[in-house]
Amino acid sequence: MSTTVTGTDQPRAPGTVMGTRLRRKEDPALLSGEALFVHDLVVPGALHLSFVRSPSAHARVTALDLSAAQAMPGVVAVFGGADLMSEWAAPMPCAWPVTSDMKNPPHYPLATDEVRYVGDAVAVVVAETEAQAQDAASAVAVGYDALPAVVDLEDAASDRVLVHSALGTNRSYIWELAPDAEAVERAFAEAAHVVSERYVQQRLIPAAIEPRGVCVVPQPFGGEYTVYSATQIPHILRTMLGISLGIPEARLRVVAPAVGGGFGSKLNVYAEELICVALARRLRRPVRWSEGRSENSQATIHGRGQIQHIELAADAAGRLKAVRVRLLADMGAYLQLVTPGIPLLGAFLYHGVYDVPAYSFSCVSVFTNKTPTDAYRGAGRPEATYAIERAMDALARKLGLDPAEVRRRNFIPADKFPYPSAPGLVFDSGNYAAGLEKALGLADYEGLRGEQARRRGAGSTRHLGIGLSSYVEMCGLAPSRVLASLNYSAGGWEAATVRVLPTAKVQVVTGTSPHGQGHVTSWSMIVADKLGISPDDVEVLHSDTAVSPFGLDTYGSRSLSVGGTAVYLAAERVLEKARLIAAHQLEAAPEDLEYEGGAFKVRGSPHKSVPLGVIAFEAFTAHDLPEGVEPTLEASVSWDPPNFTFPFGTHVAVVDVDGETGRVELVRYVAVDDCGNQVNPLIVEGQVHGGIAQGVAQALWEEAAYDPEGNLLTTTLADYLVPAATELPSFVLGRTVTPSPTNPMGVKGVGEAGTIAATPAVVNAVVDALSHLGVRGIEMPVTPERVWRALSDATQETQEKGEPR
Amino acid sequence: MRLSMTVNGTWFEHDVEPRLLLVHYIRDVLGLTGTNVGCDTTSCGACTVLLDGESVKACTVLAVQADGAEITTIEGLARSDGSLHPLQEAFREHHGLQCGFCTPGMVMAAASFLREHPDPTEAEVREGLEGNLCRCTGYHNIVQAVLAAATTKELVR
């Protein structure tokens, strides 16, 4: 294992910081308990909110009696949905109307006459303490008249029961992508082999360890509001709060303090955020709300929730000729911020890393009486990767080929990049075969296959399974023009400012909003590397709209390749300006200067030099600047990427399946990822580790389970099985480096890679472990019961057919 | 009810409601907000502190149950000269934290674990931290950090 670089205080030569394992600047505050999360903020006089939530998946609200709650100790006010309707200038926002006829039913922060999922809020209590608010919430009397609920996706698609009766259908939209539908039909007609598979992407609960929290401080006489929220998107939130509440955006300041993980769940505009601002406005006092874990399970968005049909057409040698996908996607009861767009983030990637000439995709999205879905780590791309990687294994079985071989035969060749894909993207760069071979080597694939054969030969009931997953993702959200073509309501650029202060310390302002990703460290490294200074001399300001007015925040593995690039370019522009000042000082032509070791030197006369610190002070005093050069040494850049980036890799999961109990143990995990050039491998590896854990968890343990009446059964961390340290092995990581041509640093992004790759690798491993017994598939999460049933079914089938396989 | 205890070396006395949880006493009464709350079922371990040297989940202890006890929270772990405790250093060195929300509880659980298992195996570390959930790291680097800290032999007082 490489050692961590610990000395950060020395000035560095330009170009020597990037790629080092610098330990994080963020850590001391987090390790000492000094970092302040929303719940930690001390706000004198703040009132506490507690929400009354529907216990029913679908019901008419027939009565709402607030009087008992209003009489409880410490209660300041209690509101039902109708009481707050005058607060809203617009309904809750959905920023992604994917089709012009998409159905988006009106959605307000508190339900009024009808509740549509367990957890839908119907009233809010305001009290002096949190305990008083909670006590009073339980005294709010709500009359519910139960309505039929629809939980199952295919049932929802039948419109047997309607979630929103006024719409007349549960379908929100149908979205299709078929650049050449005839070619797809032809390929299937001519195919030597067709694979047709149906997979279920169970719903997941993102389960950041910090639940959500909001605190709003109004300044009634100044007309301004400071909103503290555990959010990934302070900038987007500010705009949306302004629109939804009719408050001029300039009077809203949104701050995301320390945020305890998001994984997409804090990439939203939530009812509680709107209500906190509305009540701070109405009551003219600070208000705050801290989400409980059970609330988080019900009222924070869920992820995934799809039924996938994928078909592969292949020739006799197993080469893919077409991929056809039909998706049924669960929107939940309402459309949240980007709910409808999530399936489309995968729509272009169901052919995975394979060279496929013909492609079609269609998605039907339906409402159900469940918590709304939205972005969860990977958002659309894990689903796509799961489908193609499971189907590739099915194709391998059909052909009697090794799963590695069927992948080799189909990879987009390294010399075909930039690769125009059949669905219409241009993959920037890649070398998929290299990642696969490296992963197989690290895993000792041949050795594992030998051990598997040995166990099978010996009739062992400890079944060894090896699962592969080769993936590509589209990251770096996103080129604004592409977003326009997908009807997304915003752009995908990112903003940064780099300013050199009079004392030569450097301040970076970024529009990204980190919540664990280490941007403070990485952005410091980018600037230090460019300017030839110590990363310790760089300060990074973020996540406060008063400090960083422009930005599009953090999600979709976008921060480095879009936000980091803006920082890089701003540092470059600072140097351009510094060069003009230096040239003036040194009485030389700007083009005769070179920048080295934190100083400009006249080429050929190294004794004539001026350090950046002196230039910064000159820019500050402005006593002797060249003609036409403004004071201060500062540059701002907004970078709109010309393309997505396309990280890739291959993961290998090795499982030990107990044929008698059905228990699956993940015994070894190898990941080879290529995210282009790496700024800080220590951080990259951490992102991969955490991503793998979440992907494995979908495969083996996690499911937001509902009963047929729409009751969420997994409302606590005792029921919803987020893995602990005992459930996971240490991971073996390798990397290849294929720089992206899309941005000057050649970076791609890595926040979601592990999650995207891991789920199919693990399920493929389980199926592989049991394939000799006739098991062809198994649904997620792969519980001991499901394994046991799959084995029983396969055994029965084998006996009925009277053949061993 | 009258309550007195030593927290991070300082003696405190307060009148508290009998239903007050230790974690709320620490956070809301004493203002030590490093100890976090991540769930309501004693599942996540974010609120782990040391009670007379042993790790407890402070959401599952009534403040009055800790009457007379000696409590150490994350704020009490760093050295008096302001430098980090070797375990905190190890978490930093090995990137054993990302968002940092579970970290105070994880570090306190690890501190207690290492007192009882000064020379642990990887499997023992994983078992020792089973009561603490982290959603960011996949535990890999946490385990590395705890194994590395075990070699420093300069752990909890």
List pLDDT tens digits, range A475-506: 999 999 999 999 999 999 999 999 999 999 99
Q: Are A449 and A677 in contact (CB under 8 A)?
A: no
**Angle at CA A697, nearest 5°, toward A121 and A466?**
155
CATH classification number, A493-639, choose in 3.40.50.300, 3.30.365.10, 3.90.870.10, 1.10.8.640 = 3.30.365.10
CA–CA separation, A567 and A639 (whole Å): 9
List pLDDT tens digits, range B5-29: 999 999 999 999 999 999 999 999 9
Q: Are A230 and A37 in contact (CB under 8 A)?
A: yes
CA–CA separation, A456 and A363 (whole Å): 41
Residue by residue, DSSP assigns B4-41 as EEEETTEEEEEE--TT-BHHHIIIIIS--TTS----SS
Taking the alpha carbons at both ends of chain B, their separation in whole angstroms is 31
CATH topology of domain B86-150: DNA polymerase; domain 1 (1.10.150)
Could you tell me whether strands A506-510 and A538-541 are parallel, antiparallel, or unpaired per DSSP bridges?
parallel
Amino acid at A438: K
CA–CA separation, A229 and A206 (whole Å): 17
What predicted TM-score, i.e. pTM, was given to this entire model? 0.97
Give residues 51 to 70 of B whose Cβ lies within 8 Å of A: none
Return the CATH superfamily for domain B2-75. Beta-grasp domain (3.10.20.30)
Contact A693 B92 (CB under 8 A): no
CA–CA separation, A123 and B115 (whole Å): 49
- The domain locations on chain A are 39-147+211-259+266-299, 381-475+644-801, 493-639
The DSSP output letter for A561 is I
- How many angstroms separate the CA of residue A576 from the nearest CA in chain B? 35
CA–CA separation, A407 and A667 (whole Å): 23
Could you tell me whether strands B2-7 and B70-72 are parallel, antiparallel, or unpaired per DSSP bridges?
parallel
- Alpha helix ranges (H) inside A173-292: 181-190, 234-245, 271-283
CA–CA separation, A274 and A192 (whole Å): 56
> Does residue A109 have a cis peptide bond before it, meaning omega lies within 30 degrees of 0?
no
Phi/psi zone of residue A529: left (φ > 0), alpha (ψ -120 to 50 degrees), beta? Answer: alpha
The DSSP output letter for A348 is T
- The residue in chain B having the minimum alpha-carbon distance to the alpha carbon of residue A209 is B38
CA–CA separation, A191 and A185 (whole Å): 10
Under 8 Å CB pairs connecting chains A and B tally to 180
Residue A2 confidence (pLDDT): 43
Q: Are A655 and A762 in contact (CB under 8 A)?
A: yes
CA–CA separation, A409 and A396 (whole Å): 11
> CA nearest A728: which of A761, A690, A773?
A690
Q: Are B49 and B71 in contact (CB under 8 A)?
A: yes
Angle between helix B86-93 and B140-150 (nearest 10): 140
Contact B88 A32 (CB under 8 A): yes
A667 interfacial to chain B (CB closer than 8 Å): no
For residue A406, what are the contacts with CB-CB under 8 A and spacing of at least 6? A318, A392, A395, A396, A399
Coil/strand/helix, residue A5: strand
Phi/psi zone of residue A177: left (φ > 0), alpha (ψ -120 to 50 degrees), beta? Answer: beta
Q: Are A272 and A296 in contact (CB under 8 A)?
A: no
Least CB-CB distance to B97: which of A6, A27, A731?
A27
Q: Write out residues in chain A with pLDDT < 50, as ranges.
A: 1-7, 804-805
Q: Which two tokens stand for residue A232?
A: 């990934």
Buried b (16+ CB within 10 A) or exposed e, A551-575: bbbbbbbbbbbbbbbbbbbbbeebb
Coil/strand/helix, residue A783: coil
Place of tokens 């294994």: A393
Q: Do domains A381-475+644-801 and A493-639 have the same CATH topology?
A: yes
- The domain locations on chain B are 2-75, 86-150
CA–CA separation, A142 and A453 (whole Å): 63
| CATH architecture group of domain A381-475+644-801 | 2-Layer Sandwich (3.30)
Give residues 273 to 292 of A whose Cβ lies within 8 Å of B: 292
B79 interfacial to chain A (CB closer than 8 Å): no
CA–CA separation, B23 and B26 (whole Å): 5
List pLDDT tens digits, range B29-84: 999 999 999 999 999 999 999 999 999 999 999 999 999 999 999 999 998 888 99
Q: Which two tokens stand for residue A427?
A: 């993959």
Q: What is the 3-state secondary structure (H, E, C) of A397-447?
A: HHHCCCHHHHHHHHECCHHHCCEECCCCCEECCCCHHHHHHHHHHHHCHHH
Contact A690 B95 (CB under 8 A): no
CATH code at A39-147+211-259+266-299: 3.90.1170.50
Q: Are A665 and A770 in contact (CB under 8 A)?
A: no
Least CB-CB distance to B46: which of A30, A209, A718?
A209
Mean pLDDT for the stretch of residues B115-121: 96
Q: What is the 3-state secondary structure (H, E, C) of A607-675?
A: EEEEEHHHHHHHHHHCCCCCCCCCCCEEEEEEECCCCCECCEEEEEEEEEEECCCCCEEEEEEEEEEEC
Residue A4 confidence (pLDDT): 47
For residue A802, what are the contacts with CB-CB under 8 A and spacing of at least 6? none
Chain B interface, mutation test: which of A1, A23, A24, A31, most B Cβ atoms within 10 Å? A31
Beta-ladder partners of A717 = none
The DSSP output letter for A354 is B
